Copies of this chain bind each other. A is one copy, B any other.
Amino acid sequence: MEIEKLTVVALAGGVGGAKLVDGLARCLPAGQLTVIVNIGDDFEHLGLQICPDLDTVCYTLAGMANPATGWGLAGETFNALEHLAALGGPDWFRVGDRDLGTHLERTRRLNRGESLSQITRDFCKAWGIGITVLPASDDRVPTLVYTSEGEMPFQEYFVLHECRPIVKGFLFTENERAHPAPGTLQAIQQADIIVFCPSNPWVSLDPILAIPGIREAVRQRPVVAVSPIIAGKTVKGPAAKIFNELGSEPSACAVARHYRDILTGFVLDQMDYKQEGAIKALGIHTYRTDTIMHTRDDRCRLAKEVVEFAGSII
């Protein structure tokens, strides 16, 4: 099948996921790509509803993301935060001025009773994003992290404590009561392939799959995952550390095993060639390539390879 004719739904979390989504958006017609974004990291801070993964995906797709960090906006200023810090306010979450504009307007509209998916649709339009970006749910589904230092909301673990506490588990209580955002299940049901972006399995993709109906719908479709673990490490974020703390060695194979009941295919890095056999033994098709996305060209090249691979096994 020609890849331009495939309809793709991507599940994505933070920076790595956003990069692959950007690649997919550049090699597929806009109408054939929907991205379902993790909202388990969302939290209220300074009275504002902040959606870090949704913003990272949208800023990246709009070409506005800070290339140095992957999150936040390019050329950002931090005048509000510095002024607030001088008053003794909390500045552990590095929110920039323009980014504040996003949170203020999103929060204003949420407080008027509008849904996160409607607001996201309008923001994407304003930012010139052609593909469909859906939050996994319009309900609030904060991920709770059980750690050696007690339980805490994800952003406190991730930013305030810089992932230092030892993870003992995660709780998605609210997810079980949540509903998929309008259009989510339909997009999955109509997709030729589902792509799991190279996002953290525990805290980026599991919270999406924990929303009733999504895992079941995804399992009905061919699913290809791109490993976020390369040579036992992550490019960014705590996925490898979490695998260790939860008792399994971080590896491409550990990621494949994490999703073994769902996956049709698995994309691993060239460096992990020794694990290919073990993954195949799980009954999963494999494809090896360079998966680190340094440049925007890397994103397109990887996205194309992922879709071609998926097209070859469905």
Nearest chain B CB to A54's CB is how many angstroms away?
14
A48-B101 Cα distance, complex, nearest whole Å: 13
Contact A79 B108 (CB under 8 A): no
Binds B, one of A33-41, A84-92, A144-152, A236-244: A84-92
A89 / chain B contacts, CB cutoff of 8 Å? 101, 104-105, 108
A80 within 8 A of B: yes
B residues less than 8 Å from A123 (CB atoms): 87
Q: How far is the CB of A145 from chain B (nearest CB, A)?
A: 23
The answer to whether the Cβ of A26 comes within 8 Å of any Cβ in the partner chain is no
Of B79, B90, B102, the contact of A87 (CB 8 Å cutoff): B102
- Counting CB contacts under 8 A, is A126 at the interface? yes
Q: Which of under 10, 10 to 19, 20 to 34, or 35 or more describes the interface residues of A?
A: 20 to 34
- The answer to whether A84 and B111 touch (CB under 8 A), given A47-B47, A77-B77, is no
A297 within 8 A of B: no
Q: How far is the CB of A102 from chain B (nearest CB, A)?
A: 7
CA distance A98 to B87 in the complex (A): 11
Q: Is the CB of A107 within 8 A of B47?
A: yes
Cβ-defined contact, B107 with A80, below 8 A: no
Q: Are A83 and B108 in contact (CB-based, < 8 A)?
A: no
**Nearest 6 pairs between A and B by C-beta?**
A83-B101, A84-B101, A89-B105, A79-B97, A83-B98, A80-B101
- Which residues of A are interface residues toward B (Cβ below 8 A)? 46-48, 76-77, 79-90, 96-102, 104-105, 107-108, 111, 122-123, 126
